[in-house]
Chains A and B, each alone.
Chain A
Amino acid sequence: MDPFINDLIVYWPQLLAGLERTLILMVIVSLTGLAGGVCVFYLTLVKSSILHKWTEAYISFFIGTPLLVHLFLMYYGLPQLGIRLSALTVAVIGFTLNVSAYNARYLATAYNGLDKEELEAARAQGFKHSETFRLIILPQVMRLSVPSLTNQVIQNLKDTSVAFLIQYHDLFAQIQEIASSNFHFFKAYMTAALVYLALVSIVVLAARRFERFISLPGFETH
């Protein structure tokens, strides 16, 4: 048998543990990022101009700066203030801040395409701001943004590999370890690439199913 395959079998439990950590991180940040995105999107709609400016600045900053810098800032910078966070905590906070900014942008784009007369009608009916948001805006905007939001989940899955640079022992970190023990770098990274390709394919298929499931006739998104 090929010695590399043999190594894969020997390291199987480690690889599985890494895969689990990759998936855990992806699932957590996809959920927190969605929740955060909705909150930030809500803030962009608030009339107060100071709050509005700050929210825009937040989105712009996190879209314009690398995730890796935020992760390093928290993982290697915060201990200076005596705050020591685990790699997973840092990754979850860093990803959430980032993904929320992106998701808020997607939701805002969908909002711009919305029929504003509906919102006026709701206000005329006596809906409060929070009610208009919850009952009129959010359901439509979420539905319109499903393709962008699911794309973001795929992006999250791929980006989890960045967490290995702050000592999070995800799938890529484990493969890295195998590679540095047997020196089969090409085979190891090829394996990593194939595993990510397979994982992304699964998410893509699930996303397409989900898009079909929630699609309403007359509200198709492209």
Chain B
Amino acid sequence: MTFPDIMIILARGAGYTILVTIASVSAGLAAGLFLSVLGTLRWKAVSFFLGAYTYVFRSIPVLVLLFLVFFGLPGLGIRISPFVSIVLTLGLISGAYLAEIFRGAMAGVGQDEILAAEASGMNRMQVFLYIIFPQMFRMSIPGMINEFTTVLKYTPFAYTVGIPEIMKEAMSLAVMTLRGLEIYLALGIIYFIIYRLFVMLFMTLEKKYRIPGLAPE
């Protein structure tokens, strides 16, 4: 078995890794957006909840939360599939980070623009959809790429709950062939390729929707 053979065998498992990454980032984006929109309400109880949420989920290690969800919750009678467990775990954690990124980007939207929109008769929903969101989203792109990378790099933990993604494939291949060195090296290269492909995709999207003069630093 040559090195390219190993790469090909592992690359077949990459689908699961990409699926877990995309599902987790989508969950994180939904959570982050929801939380940052809640934050604009400026209600005391809500702000306290948001602060606590981000603090807790930015402090607990991914592996601990994953084990709590997958092995711990059944003790309370809640049984969750491995896939949902990893997506929930990474979604909750990246949601906390993304909420912070969105909050920062939202603060960068000009107050006079919002005022002008309100003056021309837009309601709160319209202001958010047409004025705040398009700008905030563009400004958040560098932060989102970072968060995406972080999620991708945490997906190997999925093997601990039995999801057949590339880490698990690599481990069983290493046990069978006893050639861990080449296999884990190939694994690193595959992760790097996935990472580069996604970064390139984001960059292309960002260029396509860029507004001159409104590029994030």
Chain A interface residues toward B at CB < 8 A? 61, 63-70, 72-73, 76-81, 154, 158-159, 161-162, 164-165, 172, 176, 179, 184-190, 192-193, 196-197, 200-201
Contacts and interface: CB of A to CB of B under 8 A. Distances in A.
17 contacts: A61-B192, A64-B153, A65-B195, A68-B156, A68-B157, A69-B191, A72-B170, A77-B181, A77-B184, A158-B61, A179-B71, A184-B75, A185-B67, A185-B71, A189-B67, A189-B68, A197-B56
Nearest to A200: B59
Nearest to A188: B72
Given A66-B191, A80-B179, A165-B160, A186 B73 contact: yes
Given A189-B67, A193-B64, A197-B60, A64 B181 contact: no
Q: Considering the complex of A and B, which 6 residue pairs feature the smallest CB-CB distances, nearest first?
A: A64-B195, A77-B181, A73-B184, A186-B75, A186-B72, A189-B68
A185 B74 contact: yes
A81 to B, nearest CB: 7
Interface string B57-86: 011111111011001111110000000000
A103 B62 CA distance: 21
Interface string B188-202: 100110011001000
A172 B179 contact: no
Contact of B72 (A81, A165, A189): A189
B181 A161 contact: no
B116 interface: no
Given A72-B171, A189-B71, 4 more contacts: A64-B195, A66-B156, A66-B191, A187-B75
A185 B153 contact: no
Contacts of B9: none
Contact of B181 (A78, A192, A200): A78
Main secondary structure of the interface of A (DSSP, over half): helix
B68 A193 contact: yes
Contacts of A63: 149
B133 interface: no
Interface of B: 56, 58-65, 67-68, 71-76, 149, 152-157, 160, 167, 170-171, 174, 178-185, 187-188, 191-192, 195-196, 199
Contacts of A186: 68, 72-73, 75-76
A172 B187 contact: no
B60 A64 contact: no
A155 to B, nearest CB: 10
B75 A185 contact: yes
Contacts of B67: 176, 185, 189, 192
Contacts of A159: 61
B60 A65 contact: no
B84 to A, nearest CB: 17
Taking each of B152, B179, B182, B187, which has the highest tally of chain A beta carbons within 10 Å of its own beta carbon? B187
Nearest to B75: A186
Contacts of B167: 66, 68-69
B172 to A, nearest CB: 12
Nearest to A72: B184
B149 A201 contact: no
Given A76-B184, A158-B59, A69 B156 contact: yes
Given A73-B180, A158-B59, A65 B188 contact: yes
